[in-house]
Structure 1
């Protein structure tokens, strides 16, 4: 993946009914910690980039694993009062979307926090932001808000459950697996057409409507010289992580969050579908109870990709929380 890749083309997707965007974005590339990152900006047309007309802080949205910043378009379109009262930005994490891959294709959790810190240095160096993350992004923003509490006004975690607690005895096997996989060239499956990418998205999430899938597909993938379509993600993300997930360290950070925090999940989400009995719901609830100022909300008829499944319901939830 190379951040110099041109912006997505929707010509192929236009052959099928496609979602009609209500608020167009502006793309930008910023160099953060030596890598070019792709950003998408939304701002009221009534306010220029340098205007102080908006009294609301910047809203930063960050995506999950194997996703892209464009994934939030449906929620941005569904926001009403927020659209005219604040700037909104998403970014593609390193190794996803149109952002650069990590050097050596190595991806470490602290690097995501450092990239986010560098982003806020550029976009809102003086004022705290409202910070939202989905899934992997939800875990990143929770840790960030614990170590940089002064930079976050309000915090939203969409389905960022974290991982099962790792045991020390797992470390040797994990390291052995990582060393083995370093000698292999990971691959992601190519697709014959952008329509096939859309079908893959709907297979993964049966609640995703065909028009939204058709719009997302060219933001998730790129056509190669041989005509095939490849997902915009570094295949190295498939490698085992040699660093164990240490629950106690994560929870220690969550305890330091000072911002009012909103936890949102889809009613159809089920931790067991990802982890079986390795990560009981009671374990997650115990972790979440460490957050000092917490509200919880569930979205009906929504699964893990709740920002795709029910963007209108999620938008109302966000407005109630952010504009309170």
Structure 2
């Protein structure tokens, strides 16, 4: 009886909290024309660039699927040696929403190629990706090895079906995560959609994506990563479809063609990242002709946020190295 009463009381408190102040989500570039943007492949991406246009270009690819580049903005410090370009991938962050059925890896690679051709015509780029973004960076390099000069892969989750299981597995997430998920589920009804049919789902997926990071931090806490807005449809089109369609998941390959890339590759990992850490990245290394691995012992999966100075130092050393 007491346990039932305690459970009911907890749920009541959560329900009351869910009726608190409304939550708003930021507008996208099609809703707010004042946002910085870049139009490529017939689409208006939320995007920013830092550094002189005459410098070699470094394009940064954020994680997800369905994240945004806000948490990686510290990399703009590299603008003293590169023109650093950030963009929110199609359907993600502050870029316009699109139907889930139009989202694919191939489409994302086409988007990236259109951006490369626009910001660095006729000149190879440096490419840096984190997590999902690193998976896309690897896939793009395999497709266009002549368009990439140097490649930084910060904890790509998996590159093929052989490395997928290690990245996607996981045990009990812990009560803190479960409680956070319950609060997020209730709190989603506080989202003021303002007529935006994607707002509530985007907000909920953003909360869940952050909570899932708790198992890849040095202290086990949920990381305080800054983000604008998740892309719920993107997450559903990729992660959701992988769960529902094993054949689709088995066909995914982000390493096809990378053996043709002769340029240098830096793989980065955090010592507190169990599933996507050093062991996983060593599995990825074997597919590249000229790769080395750096392990940041006091960082988790969000290594550019956990150890920004150490991570930046390694990236600078890699970009400045002689061919």
Cα–Cα, structure 1 residues 3 and 236, in superposed 2: closer, same or farther, change >3 Å? Answer: farther
Contact 2:153 2:268 in 1 (8 A): yes
Superposed displacement of residue 164, structure 1: 6.2
Q: Does 1:296 align with 2:296?
A: no
TM-score by length of 1: 0.66
Cα–Cα, structure 1 residues 100 and 309, in superposed 2: closer, same or farther, change >3 Å? Answer: same
List alignment gaps of at least 5 residues for structure 1: 9-26, 167-187, 221-230, 274-279
Match of residue 31 from structure 2: 5
Partners of 1:102 and 1:39 in 2: CA distance: 17
Superposed displacement of residue 208, structure 1: 10
Contact 1:62 1:91 in 2 (8 A): yes
- Tell me how large the CA RMSD over aligned residues is: 3.7
TM-score by length of 2: 0.66
Q: Does 1:311 align with 2:308?
A: yes
Corresponding residue to 2:89 among 93, 108, 128: 93
Match of residue 253 from structure 1: 257
Corresponding residue to 2:249 among 233, 244, 248: 244
Partners of 1:259 and 1:139 in 2: CA distance: 17
Match of residue 62 from structure 1: 61
Partners of 1:158 and 1:251 in 2: CA distance: 15
Superposed displacement of residue 104, structure 1: 5.0
Partners of 2:224 and 2:254 in 1: CA distance: 34
Match of residue 12 from structure 1: none
- What number of residue pairs does the alignment pair up? 251
SS in 1 for 2:75: helix
Superposed displacement of residue 254, structure 1: 2.1
Partners of 1:303 and 1:60 in 2: CA distance: 23
1:38-53 map, 5 Å: 38-43=46-51, 47=52, 49=53, 52=54
Match of residue 320 from structure 2: 323
Superposed displacement of residue 163, structure 1: 5.7
Q: Does 1:139 align with 2:135?
A: yes
Partners of 2:87 and 2:291 in 1: CA distance: 26
Match of residue 36 from structure 2: 28
SS in 2 for 1:64: coil
Which protein is richer in helix relative to its size? Answer: 2
Cα–Cα, structure 1 residues 295 and 104, in superposed 2: closer, same or farther, change >3 Å? Answer: closer
Cα–Cα, structure 1 residues 199 and 98, in superposed 2: closer, same or farther, change >3 Å? Answer: closer
Cα–Cα, structure 1 residues 256 and 164, in superposed 2: closer, same or farther, change >3 Å? Answer: closer
Partners of 1:191 and 1:323 in 2: CA distance: 49
Match of residue 83 from structure 1: 79
Cα–Cα, structure 1 residues 97 and 129, in superposed 2: closer, same or farther, change >3 Å? Answer: same
List alignment gaps of at least 5 residues for structure 2: 1-26, 163-183, 193-202
Q: Which runs of 4+ in 1 moved over 6 A?
A: 196-202
Contact 1:202 1:208 in 2 (8 A): no
Match of residue 282 from structure 2: 285
Superposed CA offset, 1:69-98 (max 9, x none): 12211333xx4xx33232111110111111
